[in-house]
Amino acid sequence: MAVGCDAFAAPLDHDPDAPIKVIPTDERSPVRADPLPPPVAGGTLAVVASGTLAVASDPARDRVSVVDLEERTLRHTVRLRKGDEPGRMAQDAAGRVHVVLRGAGEIATLDVTAGRIAMRRQVCRTPRGIAYDNGVDALHVTCAEGQLVQLPAAGGNVTRKVAVPIDVRDAVLHAGRLYLSRFRSAELLSVGPDGGVVSGKTRIPEGFSEPGIHSHPHPGTKLIQVRAGSTHGPPPERRFEPNGAWRTISAGAGLVMLHQQAEASQIQLEASAADPHDPRGAATSPYGDNGQGCGGIVRTALTTFVTGVGTAPANGPVLTTSVRGSVLGVDVAADPTGRLVAVAFAGERDLAAPAPRNVFADTFGGPAHPEIVAVRGSGAPSTAVVVYDRLAVGAESMHPGLKCVRGSPMPVQGQPVAVAYTPDSRLVVQSREPATLTLLDEHNPAAAGTVTIALGGTSVADTGHDLFHRDTGQGIACAGCHLEGSDDGHVWSFSGFGRRRTQALDVGLDGTQPFHWDGALDGLDALMDEVFVGRMGGVWQSPERMEALRDWLFALEPRPAPRSQADPAVKRGAKLFASADLACATCHSGPKLTDNSSQDVGTGRPGERFQVPSLRAIAYRAPFMHDGCAQTLRQRFDKACGGDRHGRTSRLSPAQLDDLVAYLESL
């Protein structure tokens, strides 16, 4: 019944006074892109210093567009090589724009006047962020494998490579100091003149985000819990942890990080309306916000690290708040006055999709009165781009009564992936599909001067890509936990299951079934039934749409490993891994480095078995194991994470363990 007609998610012996939840099937014809577009990464737009031109990277079409903001026309389309995947950009003092080519491991230098690539230079395996340092006329490039690379802006070879923590993302110059963000952990690192990390990690304070729960805005202090009064008793405690630092920028007196907040308190998977204290009410979706707009298990947040000249962020306050908008906030920009910040949400709900509904009847099959569940009216404003008052954002951190900050929705079309401001405070929005730039006056978004500039090119619309990134209708998207098609590094707590770390998708999923840590889901269809429909509040998909999703997911590949397999330590570790004495390769075998079996490795309840995960690109996936018991690969070999029940490693020397870790970092 899940295909071709509505399906009921309630037993036949239901309470006649309670509604029956009806879940339809989306039968719309799928659309396919060739080649398949990469996951959304955001942050692909820059306005040159003069304010006359906007430069937009397009990773799905492997091109860069140069738009004249005064003439409001597309000036140049710069074609790149297939698979270059252009991303972040930085302009130098000579007016050149340097573009990170994530897929090629290079930096392309663009002559924006002529609309051509002046040079390309190899930098590292996984370049992500870039910043121009006027003091030394050089570029700083972050590499996710754990490198900070410096090269001359005018041309020439890399002048310095410094080891930094893995999974670094943005490089930001602020008040004479260089800062780096880390993607999954949402940490900020301060860098010294020699390129080394000098202040260690500044992590956003953890705290409760529900009304009546308040965490002190300064790091390193204890949580202060203030419970609001209620006729039904105190609200339940819902604790959230920061992760997913999509974009970090310099703004006014500090740095602003756009990131996510993931629920750290236990998630009740059983749908129940029995608890009147539950702010989610009658739970139509254990993962979603159920129409509340800011109450799901993944939320968008803004954090300001207040700094001074030469001052590390750890010495100043850290102000964090949830913000209300759509889902999957992937880019942030601050206007020149420092008063406003704009956020691009790439996961706005598809309003043309069918939605679940409640049906009331005296008896099953009798006269029914449908009630729409969690559907926004077609006349409601888009929440895909929202502008927030920074004072209101800061106030959320200081006052316990606010749930999350509202902003002003901007009228844009398509799927926004990047935002930027001009020097005169006009907001520029880049949409991925269709490929456009929208120029707005945020003080008067309905002004006649608001224009949309088409960037041309073939459509990259793809149903699989859409299903992965779009809001299911309950304020949650697959991409909210599986960042950029991979994972978020978060360990969830589920009723009935315990602690479960998000599993990575970019390992070459095809052939690694069954899915989930307990191996209970034999394929993608079962996964969609259990998670997309059952937990995320989505609707069933036709076989054709499921095939589009399967093709897109199975095309995801791991990023290059941090270590070279030519490293002598890696070669020694490979021999240890393959040895019969350790027995690692018994389960972690084959091209995906998994035999797809379930094993008891001593980390769960007695006799509890877990799926053998793929080890491809394992170095990026801290913490490790199903419950996150190891913060590092070295800790994976501690007794607390299974000990000799998970490979006989206790007899290895410290040097041998180092070699084994080196090998894992090369996979």
Token output for 180 = 């780096």
pLDDT at 217: 28
CB atoms within 10 A of CB 365: 8
DSSP state of 559: P
Give the per-residue pLDDT at 220.
Answer: 27
402: pLDDT confidence band, cut at 50, 70 and 90? Answer: low
Q: Which of 43-57, 231-245, 306-320, 439-453 has the lowest mean pLDDT?
A: 306-320
pTM tops 0.85: yes
Indicate the pairing of strand 426-431 with strand 436-441: antiparallel
Encode pLDDT of 170-197 as tens digits. 999 998 899 999 999 999 999 988 777 7
- Give the DSSP per-residue string, 546-607: HHHHHHHHHT--PPPPSS-TTSHHHHHHHHHHH-TTT-HHHHS-TTTT----EE--SSSSTT
In this predicted model, what pLDDT tens digit does every residue of 72-88 receive, in sequence order?
A: 999 999 999 999 999 99
The answer to which of 6-10, 214-218, 464-468 has the lowest mean pLDDT is 214-218
Higher pLDDT among residues 272 and 628, named by residue: 628
One DSSP character per residue, 368-419 reads -EEEE-S---TTSPP-SEEEEEHHHHHHHHH-TT-SSB--EE----S-EEEE
Q: Select from 471, 413, 42, 468 the least CA-distant residue to 259.
A: 42
Strand 25-26 with 540-541, pairing: parallel
Query: What is the arrangement of strands in the sheet containing 408-409, beginning at the earlier edge strand?
Result: 329-334, 340-345, 385-389, 408-409
Nearest to 92 by CA among 147, 151, 145, 37: 151
How far apart, in whole angstroms, are the C-alpha atoms of residue 196 and residue 220?
23
pLDDT at 61 over 50: yes
| Other CB atoms within 10 A of residue 573 CB | 23
In the predicted model, is pLDDT for residue 529 greater than 50? yes
pLDDT of the residue at 288: 86
Q: Kindly indicate the confidence band of residue 11, based on its pLDDT and cuts at 50, 70 and 90.
A: very low
The per-residue pLDDT for range 438-457, each reduced to its tens digit, is 998 755 555 555 789 999 99
Q: What is the mean pLDDT of the chain?
A: 84
Which amino acid is present at 68? D
Q: What is the pLDDT of residue 274?
A: 34
Cα 346 to Cα 551: distance, rounded to the nearest angstrom: 21
